[in-house]
Every structure is written in structure tokens, then in C-alpha cells.
């Protein structure tokens, strides 16, 4: 229902990539609904800036640097969240990367590995850690930020498309596996949002034109075109 306020008082939410852009907006929304918020980012200056904004909004928060594809780092930061905030109820797997790539069949193996690690393996690793606490607390919510690129092949984003398609299937698998533990797993698939993350797409006139051509349009607008 539009305008309905969600009360998350007493809940603890983790948002990966929550120091800027869409992730920070999600973390702020969760915090303003009463949740304690933990965010991870790659750069300390982004973590510090985000925490200042959360604190100014009266949100109890913590932030750390971590690489989501690194098993050891993820284990350590989630352990720190459990120790300081006494558990985890909500996980938003938001972090990602979408470097323009050549044809997948011509792509560099290191770029393939980095893109899959960041967009897909990171979701797997963070979910594993969060679920430990959620099961102890009797349930939880996991939201994976996917993309329409996971449903539609796009030139220049081939590896990203493959990774996000993996996120979509991982979401379905986790939803089935974790239902009995009262943990709900869902995914959202945004299109292009004007953030630094998506700037390579919306700042390029030709690329943006191709993207806009794929969006649903009112009949009157289609006739004008």
C-alpha cells in the first residue's frame, strides 16, 4: 500500500555496496524504518562518508571495507556485525560491477573471473554468512539486486549478463532451500538508474538510446515515434 510505513525496529540489516548510489539509498531507507545498518564498501573514504550521513539521520550503523568475492574478508566482516549488532535479520546483496566487455568468446579470463566473483560469488558468500545468524534468530529476509541484464543479452555487457542470470537462479534455489527456516529470498531487477555505477551506460548517448528503446512506452508515445 502506498505510503505504508514498515517498522524495522530491533532488526539488523546488512547492505553490501551500501556506501554510495543505490546501496546507500537502500541502507538509508532501512535505517529510517528503524533498522540498525551495516554496510560494506571497497574504499574507506566512501565508508566514512556514508557513516556520517547515517549518523546525521539518527541511524545506528557500522561500516567496513571488504571485497565481496574474498571468503576470508567476508567471514571477518560478518563476524564483526554479529558481535557488534548481535545478529543479522536482513541482507541486501547489492554490490556489483558492470565493466563494458568485448564479446564473451574473446574476453580476458581475468575479467571474466573478476566479474563473476563480484556479481555472483559475492552473493553466495555473503548469503552463507548471513544465514548462520538468521537461522539462530528464527528467520530473515534476503534481497538480491539483480538486473534486467540477467534476462536479456546485451552487447558489451555479456559477462555481466551471465553473472546476473546466475543471481536470478541462485535466488530461486535459495528461496526453495531456506523456506523451511523462515528465510525469504527474493530478487529485484532494476533497469538503468543514474548512479556512478551505471554512468558508462547513461552517459553514452548511443548506448542510452538503445536502452530507452527497450522500455515499455504508452501507445500515444509509440505513435509519435
Residues labelled catalytic: 160
Cα dihedral angle (104, 189, 38, 61), rounded to 10 degrees?
130
Separation between Cα atoms, residue 109 and residue 120, nearest integer Å: 16
Amino acid at each position: 500500500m502506498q505510503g505504508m510505513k514498515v517498522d524495522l525496529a530491533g532488526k539488523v540489516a546488512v547492505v553490501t555496496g551500501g556506501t554510495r548510489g543505490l546501496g546507500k539509498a537502500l541502507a538509508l531507507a532501512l535505517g529510517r524504518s528503524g533498522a540498525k545498518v551495516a554496510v560494506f564498501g571497497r574504499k574507506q573514504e566512501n565508508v566514512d562518508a556514508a557513516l556520517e550521513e547515517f549518523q546525521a539521520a539518527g541511524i545506528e550503523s557500522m561500516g567496513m571495507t571488504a571485497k565481496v568475492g574474498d571468503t576470508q574478508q567476508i567471514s571477518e566482516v560478518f563476524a564483526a556485525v554479529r558481535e557488534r549488532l548481535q545478529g543479522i535479520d536482513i541482507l541486501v546483496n547489492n554490490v556489483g560491477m558492470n565493466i563494458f566487455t568485448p564479446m564473451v568468446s574473446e574476453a580476458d579470463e581475468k575479467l571474466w573471473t573478476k566479474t563473476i566473483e563480484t556479481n555472483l560469488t559475492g552473493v553466495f558468500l555473503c548469503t552463507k554468512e548471513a544465514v548462520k545468524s538468521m537461522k539462530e534468530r528464527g528467520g530473515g529476509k534476503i534481497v538480491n539486486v539483480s538486473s534486467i541484464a540477467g534476462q536479456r543479452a546485451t552487447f558489451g555487457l555479456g559477462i555481466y549478463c551471465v553473472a546476473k542470470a546466475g543471481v536470478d537462479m541462485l535466488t530461486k534455489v535459495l528461496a526453495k532451500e531456506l523456506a523451511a527456516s523462515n528465510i525469504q529470498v527474493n530478487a529485484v531487477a532494476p533497469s538503468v538508474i543514474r548512479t556512478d555505477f551505471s554512468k558508462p551506460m547513461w552517459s553514452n548517448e548511443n548506448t542510452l538510446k538503445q536502452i530507452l528503446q527497450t522500455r515499455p512506452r504508452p501507445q500515444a508515445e509509440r505513435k509519435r515515434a
